[in-house]
Structure 1
């Protein structure tokens, strides 16, 4: 058992099942949550919990860490420790990827809206179940593709329907936002690697050469859903102070039937992005639980 495994076991043992919403009447041989209970709460497989605690899986994704942090009710300091143990430490010159407790509490209160959290490079860190039900489940694609810029410029499937001129404006806004990020984190190797990869796309090279700088903010989206049809949404980007996390919240467009359609999607749950793709064991499956879980 490594440091990560010991920490997870300690946090699991200390958590009262009742405080996690798990009723129990019969006496338990050991305090705290059972492994299978943590797996259900975090939306990951019990096999992966075992591998983590035994030190056979040493670098869970930031998304898995977020799910474990929520399930174990970790404080901000403990969650930061978990992220460091998992290899996701962020120095003063690195793009922050920790989602603080204050933001997580906000996300819980907005669960009736599709929402997602991105870092300053537009890497998807977290989404709620209704987001996955509306846009498609991000776990159906590799984690390195869960970046809004890569999805846009590498041509990954998207349910977003763009009107005349909207695609160009959307791409210009994203690239200008990334340009602003490079001045905030000029020595982050992940930012350099992302730009090098994006430079393979002619459209990105064209926009990057323009050197525009701006923040990507609100917009209007029409989502073509296979069961619900077109869903018209307004998207608003909330940027956190200090960490530059982007919380993207989607709300029903006034004068449309989007609210009814979102309620319908919340009821039917997650759809996959690409049929036939299997979800890795370590990926949270929150959409299969009491709440519902792709990018802006």
Structure 2
């Protein structure tokens, strides 16, 4: 059980929830935003002293019943509820598996000849990719293996600004941090994830500010507007799919609307990969 992280998560979720959203009266002026501790305890059906101890990182190990009550009281979504359970050690900690990408997944991305596709692990290391992904993201084959981390690119690489607008980069940065926090809760004892978080907290104030917000959201489908020097603008749908039997790996595929200018741009990018 990670008491400090659990306490911070509860405080952040309480602060974002307005009384009217929880079906409570406003009750006059409030010194701080969100619900009061007493209101959360009331909604969850527990004593105020018990809840205060949880928020002060000195409470007992909460049961599944208590966690379910807190999830309802704080109106957590599916990803946030799972994160709450992971932080409290319910269910048992998952262990992130390390090793090669399954052979079937490698075959799949090789057969996806017309769309960029790559495999990402829980700490945002790119483990495998096809030629289209390399052409879109900047010659991945030339990067050292330990440099293929998307989180580091987002917060430390000025080259990313050449491909994404400031607005796009901001959205992607926020989504990536929320997803990494979910992974940190899912695999709380993973030294590689812990080391990456510590590194980014030390070197990036932007990352630290987003991390401090305790947002949690698993990355799924996302739209991106990518500016490529060779083929122009590509409006893509970024599909994030789980790899079968490997809950620590995800397959990322970029698709476009058939017949659209972005589709034609991807076809031109395909010609670039064939001629190089």
Superposition TM-score tier, normalisation by shorter sequence: 0.5 to 0.7
Match of residue 162, structure 1, among 143, 165, 173: 165
Cα contact 2:134–2:141 (8 A) shared by 1: no
Taking the aligned partners of 1:153 and 1:252, their CA distance within structure 2 comes to 26
In our comparison, the structure showing a higher alpha carbon Rg is 2
**CA offsets 1:5-62 (integer angstroms, 9 cap, x no match):** xxxxxxxxxxxxxxxxxxxxxxxxxxxxxxxxxxxxxxxxxxxxxxxxxxxxxxxxxx
* Deviation beyond 4 Å, 4+ runs, structure 1: none
Are 1:224 and 2:227 an aligned pair? yes
Partner of 2:136: 134
Taking the aligned partners of 2:181 and 2:97, their CA distance within structure 1 comes to 14
In angstroms, what is the RMSD of aligned CA positions? 2.3
TM score, norm. by length of structure 2: 0.59
Taking the aligned partners of 2:166 and 2:204, their CA distance within structure 1 comes to 22
Q: How does 1:13-32 map to 2 (within 5 A)?
A: none
**CA offsets 1:145-172 (integer angstroms, 9 cap, x no match):** 21111100113412432364x3332212
Cα contact 2:178–2:216 (8 A) shared by 1: yes
Per-residue deviation, 1:197: 1.0
Cα contact 2:179–2:217 (8 A) shared by 1: yes
Deviates more, 1:260-269 or 1:175-184: 260-269
Q: 1:176 to 1:242 in 2, by over 3 A?
A: farther
Q: 1:142 to 1:101 in 2, by over 3 A?
A: closer
TM score, norm. by length of structure 1: 0.55
Match of residue 191, structure 1, among 177, 190, 193: 193
Match of residue 249, structure 1, among 227, 231, 253: 253
Cα contact 1:97–1:119 (8 A) shared by 2: no
Cα contact 1:94–1:187 (8 A) shared by 2: no
Deviates more, 1:252-261 or 1:220-229: 252-261
Cα contact 1:95–1:120 (8 A) shared by 2: no
Unaligned runs of 5+ in 1: 1-91, 271-286, 289-296
Cα contact 2:135–2:273 (8 A) shared by 1: yes
Q: 1:209 to 1:95 in 2, by over 3 A?
A: farther
Which structure is higher in RCO with an 8 Å CA cutoff and minimum separation 6?
1
Are 1:260 and 2:264 an aligned pair? yes
Are 1:108 and 2:110 an aligned pair? yes
Taking the aligned partners of 1:123 and 1:155, their CA distance within structure 2 comes to 15
Per-residue deviation, 1:254: 5.0
Taking the aligned partners of 1:205 and 1:223, their CA distance within structure 2 comes to 26
Matched length: 180
Taking the aligned partners of 1:245 and 1:107, their CA distance within structure 2 comes to 14
**CA offsets 1:204-245 (integer angstroms, 9 cap, x no match):** 111111112110122222222222111221111002244221
Cα contact 1:232–1:256 (8 A) shared by 2: no
Q: 1:214 to 1:95 in 2, by over 3 A?
A: farther
Cα contact 1:117–1:246 (8 A) shared by 2: yes
